[in-house]
Amino acid sequence: MKEAKLIIDVHLDLATNAMTLNRDLTQSVQHIRDKEKKLGWDDFQDRGNGTVALPELRSGRVGLVFATMISRYSEHGSPLATMSLPGWHSPDQAYAYAQCQLAWYRQMEEAGEMVQISDVESLVSHTQQWLKADSVENLPVGYILALEGADSLVTPEYIHRYHAQGLRSIGISHYGPGRYAAGTHSDGSGLTSLGFELLREMNQLNILLDLTHLTDKGFYQAIETFSGPVIASHQNCRALIPGERQFADDQLKVIIERQGVIGGALDAWMLFPDYKMKQDSPRGLGINLDKLVDHFDYICQLAGNCNHIGIGSDLDGLFGTEQSPYDLDTIADLQKFVGLLQKRGYTEAHMEQIFYKNWINLLEDSI
């Protein structure tokens, strides 16, 4: 395989970059970097270092993404991610801001830049269009609407409203305490009463539960309560990188047993033990794209096959080249995994599974 004809990335925060960081994602990554440097912006650590925009998605043949809405609630926080635990001061405000992000996706549809995928028919049509096209320069990037953190659901019944808008994946936790579940850095806590109620409501819908960011306690509570399909959109292996942000073997096995898929993440702190954000250098520590293949290999050994791995890069998750593998400049460099996987003995059929087929197989049974 010289090139992957289609790559699916199941975790990108496109609307956050567009609406919180004020990035025009229809422009190239380099254009965005140059503009931010010229303006002297320094409010976020990745200013001038971004890696994701729509032109680079196309040049890397990343034709389908899970595109998030993120809108937190925090009584004491700021709505902007410059705070350690940002958030709006009421669920109503959080809901309104999530709808603002959805409006950006709708505007990208109007502009012909993106197209929403919300059922099997549109999934098959879109992916076949990309697989058959020699040039994808003028094709819209498909997106499956996802929610990262459930705070913007004013009540659990709002999940039906979101579903009608095309939401097909939801992670009910994020960082710290949440209205529905505790997230990363809240080990020992789990689901709230609202969280249990939400999962029971979700059982009525064709929707994926994204287990990413759940605490260990919350993970098992969610698995016992939710009967539908599960994924971990951007999650690596605790056995390789210790820490509660990664999943332990027993958790990975649960996802495998539930026929789920784990998306490998490219944030440097998830690829190197004890990585110190804003201090360590990915190049200095030798953090390259091949580090993620270690996690792919590990999960394949647990599963006994390649059916449960894919890409969930999180490359625009409020970090850029300063916290990405040193051999990645933009998201188009996901194509480098072709050579890296070949060197590890993965066949073309295996690579097709990793790049897109595992996600399509899951989605065909769940949306």
| Per-residue pLDDT in tens (0 to 9) along the chain, 367 residues | 999 999 999 999 999 999 999 999 999 999 999 999 999 999 999 999 999 999 999 999 999 999 999 999 998 777 665 445 689 999 999 999 999 999 999 999 999 999 999 999 999 999 999 999 999 999 999 999 999 999 999 999 999 999 999 999 999 999 999 999 999 999 889 999 999 999 999 999 999 999 999 999 999 999 999 999 999 999 999 999 999 999 999 999 999 999 999 999 999 999 999 999 999 999 999 999 999 999 999 999 999 999 999 999 999 999 999 999 999 999 999 999 999 999 999 999 999 999 999 999 999 999 9
For every residue of 200-256, DSSP letters joined together read HHHTTSS-EEE-TT--HHHHHHHHHH--S-EEESS--BTTTS-STTSBPHHHHHHHH
Copy the structure tokens of residue 296. 């792919």
Q: How far apart are CA 71 and CA 73, in angstroms?
A: 7
Q: Is residue 8 within a helix (H) or strand (E), and if so which, with residue range?
A: strand 7-12
Backbone φ and ψ for 236, nearest 5 degrees, come out as -115, -170
How high is the pLDDT of residue 86? 82
Within a domain: residue 2? no
How high is the pLDDT of residue 77? 76
Q: How far apart are CA 192 and CA 196, in angstroms?
A: 7
Within a domain: residue 314? yes
How high is the pLDDT of residue 75? 84
Which pairs count as long-range contacts for 119-127, CB under 8 Å and 24+ apart, including other chains? Answer: 119/367, 120/363, 120/364, 120/367, 123/360, 123/363, 123/364, 123/367, 124/364, 126/63, 126/64, 127/6, 127/63, 127/64, 127/356, 127/360
33 and 322 Cβ atoms separated by less than 8 Å: no
Within a domain: residue 1? no
> Three-class SS string for 140-200?
CEEEEEEEECCCCCCCCCHHHHHHHCCEEEEECCCECCCCCECCECCECECECHHHHHHHH
How high is the pLDDT of residue 80? 60
Within a domain: residue 262? yes
How high is the pLDDT of residue 351? 98
Cα dihedral 342, 345, 349, 352 sign: negative
Give the count of domains, the chain: 1
Which of helix, strand or coil describes residue 345?
coil
Beta strands (DSSP E) in 243-360 are 261-264, 309-311
Within a domain: residue 105? yes
pLDDT in tens, 113-147: 999 999 999 999 999 999 999 999 999 999 999 99
**What torsion do the CA atoms of 152, 9, 115, 108 make, to the nearest 10 degrees?**
70
Q: Which range of residues forms the domain containing residue 190?
A: 7-364
Could you tell me the CATH number of the domain that includes residue 307?
3.20.20.140
Copy the structure tokens of residue 210. 């994204």
Q: How far apart are CA 332 and CA 9, in angstroms?
A: 11
Within a domain: residue 293? yes
How high is the pLDDT of residue 76? 78
58 and 137 Cβ atoms separated by less than 8 Å: yes
| DSSP at 35 | H
How high is the pLDDT of residue 82? 47
Within a domain: residue 68? yes
